[in-house]
Amino acid sequence: DTEVTQTPKHLVMGMTNKKSLKCEQHMGHRAMYWYKQKAKKPPELMFVYSYEKLSINESVPSRFSPECPNSSLLNLHLHALQPEDSALYLCASSQVSTGAYQETQYFGPGTRLLVL
Amino acid sequence: AQTVTQSQPEMSVQEAETVTLSCTYDTSESNYYLFWYKQPPSRQMILVIRQEAYKQQNATENRFSVNFQKAAKSFSLKISDSQLGDTAMYFCAFMMLIGGGADGLTFGKGTHLIIQP
pLDDT in tens, A31-64: 899 999 999 999 999 999 987 788 888 889 999 9
- Evaluate if residue A100 carries a pLDDT over 60: no
- The overall average pLDDT reported for chain A is 90
Q: Which of B97, B107, B109 has its CB closest to that of A101? A: B97
| Closest-CA residue of chain A to B93 | A42
Chain B residues touching A33 at Cβ < 8 A? 102, 104
Q: What is the pLDDT of residue B97?
A: 78
Distance from CA of B31 to the nearest CA of A (A): 10
d(C-alpha A34, C-alpha A32), whole Å? 7
d(C-alpha A92, C-alpha A95), whole Å? 11
Q: What is the pLDDT of residue A56?
A: 84
Instruction: Please enumerate in sequence order all residues whose Cβ is within 8 A of that of A1, keeping only pairs 6 or more positions apart, or say none.
Output: A26, A27
d(C-alpha A21, C-alpha A113), whole Å? 10
pLDDT in tens, B44-97: 999 999 998 888 899 999 999 999 999 999 999 999 999 999 999 999 999 987
Query: Taking phi first (over 0 means left), then psi (-120 to 50 degrees means alpha), and beta for anything else, what does residue B7 get?
Result: alpha
Q: Which of B45, B98, B99 has its CB closest to that of A90? A: B45
Q: What is the pLDDT of residue A53?
A: 83
**Span B13-20, mean pLDDT?**
98
Q: Which of A99, A101, A105 has its CB closest to that of B105? A: A105
Task: Report the half-sphere exposure of B13 (CA within 13 A, side-chain side).
Answer: 22
Q: What is the pLDDT of residue B92?
A: 98
Confidence of residue A96 (pLDDT cuts 50, 70, 90): confident
Cα–Cα distances (Å) from B71 to A41, B25, B52, B76, in that order, read 28, 11, 14, 14
CB contact under 8 A, A43 and B97: no
Task: Report the half-sphere exposure of B106 (CA within 13 A, side-chain side).
Answer: 18
Q: What is the pLDDT of residue A101?
A: 56
Chain B residues touching A35 at Cβ < 8 A? 104-105
Confidence of residue B113 (pLDDT cuts 50, 70, 90): very high
Interface of chain B toward chain A, CB-CB under 8 angstroms: 31, 33, 35, 37, 42-47, 50, 91, 95, 97-110
Chain B residues touching A111 at Cβ < 8 A? none
Cα–Cα distances (Å) from B61 to B19, B49, B50, in that order, read 15, 7, 9
Q: Which of A100, A101, A110 has its CB closest to that of B43? A: A110
| Other CB atoms within 10 Å distance of the CB of residue A111 | 21
Q: What is the pLDDT of residue A109?
A: 96
